[in-house]
Amino acid sequence: MNNEQRILCLAARLQISPAAERELKERLRGPIDWERLWQQGHLHEVLPQLATTMRRLASEVTPPAEWRVRAQRRLYATLIRNTTLADALLEILNTFRAAGVIGIPVKGLVLAETLYGGLGMRSLGDLDVLVRPADLPAARAALARLQFAQEDEPGF
């Protein structure tokens, strides 16, 4: 594991132990390929956590200004996108309710809020809602009324 990968493993945590934080600070004082760190964070979809940790440690360890600005922009973009998805989820659930469909949100937004501590802390690509098999026709009709289109068959 290279230095950037280890930094990522230490920094992309919700809670960092004192020992892990000491190691992280030590590694951040050494030579770092900041672009590689960014690419690894992007690959593993943990840039929001990485950016938050770096901001918290800013008084002791300072990444290059360009990297900090880029990370802050990504954090805000993630928050904006996820807020838009949260609004869409509420609209979907309200539409389902009006159609007599019980929808249960899972993964994505639920994890971002409950496990990661906020909507901006986890990159999301879609919304996941469970419905009873018997409610699928009504759920699809409700989604069509909201102008959502099915691109492929759901996988299980």
Provide the residue ranges of all domains of the chain, joining segments of one domain with +: 3-63, 81-145
For 42, the enclosing helix (H) or strand (E) is helix 34-43
- Could you read off the pLDDT of 121-152 as tens digits, one per residue? 888 888 899 999 999 999 999 999 999 877 77
Q: Is the pLDDT of residue 156 over 70?
A: no
Give exposure, 12-22, as e/b (b: 16+ Cβ within 10 Å): bbeebeeeebe
Name the pTM for this structure. Answer: 0.78
Q: Are 72 and 51 a contacting pair, CB within 8 Å?
A: yes
Angle (CA) 37-38-40 rounded to 5° is: 65
- Could you read off the pLDDT of 72-120 as tens digits, one per residue? 999 999 999 999 999 999 999 999 999 999 999 998 888 888 888 888 8
